[in-house]
Amino acid sequence: MNKTVLITGATSGIGLGCAKKFAENGDRLILTGRIGEKLEKIKSELEEKGCQVFTLVFDVRDRAAAAEAVESLPEQWCDIDVLVNNAGLALGLEPEYEGNPVDWETMIDTNIKGLLTMTRLVVPGMVARNRGHVINIGSVAGDAAYAGGNVYCATKAAVKALSDGLRIDVANTAVRVTNLKPGLVETNFSNVRFLGDYERAAKVYQGIKPLTGDDIADVAVFAANAPEHVQIAEVLVLATHQASGSVIMRK
């Protein structure tokens, strides 16, 4: 059965990969992001391939704007089957005691509070219908801290805890919860972290073939299409020459 899939942060990286892969799966999409022009371009491209797409422009950090956007969905789009909480970012590599509090707040507000906001807006409907799937994009960074990762790692550890907690909360229903934890993925992630320093960002991926957004999206689609009695609770996906968040063999 084709599903209605809501993906946050759908304009690039893993979010864009999920949009393309769920579209290929025959699902219809609600794509959210902060930049309307990018969303409309992606919508046009996917609609040319036969996918139904609805776009919502808002920042997940703005709870009121998120609520207004979700509540504005036409009736035929309201029954969301899959929520992909993808919107997230990392900022800075300073030691914790030298970190920028504005960066901390942006990461916490996006990676944790934004995820909570979308969960609060969408999951009650899933519980009422006794069906649905929440896929939270966590990270290998949530398993153990690495140098320069302090607050970002903490936010992704929170994603694991929130995923586990939600899974407990909905265990009496048919709603499923997946924490999908990528390792090194070549996306716009490092460009954002280094404030547009593309040369520095490129060095993150030197000497290793990293994952792509499409690789992670493949896992998300697989989890969403597992038999109803199967809940893929947590998946760690690493590049072949990455062993952990801090161990990467470069050639």
Higher local confidence (pLDDT), 191 or 24? 24
Percentage of the residues of the chain whose pLDDT score is greater than 70: 94
Task: Report pLDDT for 194.
Answer: 59
Q: Which position among 97, 146, 152, 205 bears the catalytic label?
A: 152
pLDDT surpassing 90 at residue 199: no
Q: pTM for the complete prediction?
A: 0.94
pLDDT value of residue 1: 73
- pLDDT above 80 for 189: no
User: 3-state SS of the chain?
Assistant: CCCEEEECCCCCHHHHHHHHHHHHCCCEEEEEECCHHHHHHHHHHHHCCCCCEEEEECCCCCHHHHHHHHHCCCHHHCCCCEEEECCCCCCCCCCHHHCCHHHHHHHHHHHHHHHHHHHHHHHHHHHHHCCEEEEEECCHHHCCCCCCCHHHHHHHHHHHHHHHHHHHHCCCCCEEEEEEEECCECCCHHHHHCCCCHHHHHHCCCCCCCECHHHHHHHHHHHHCCCCCCCCCEEEECCCCECCCCCECCC
Q: Could you confirm whether 152 is annotated as catalytic?
A: yes
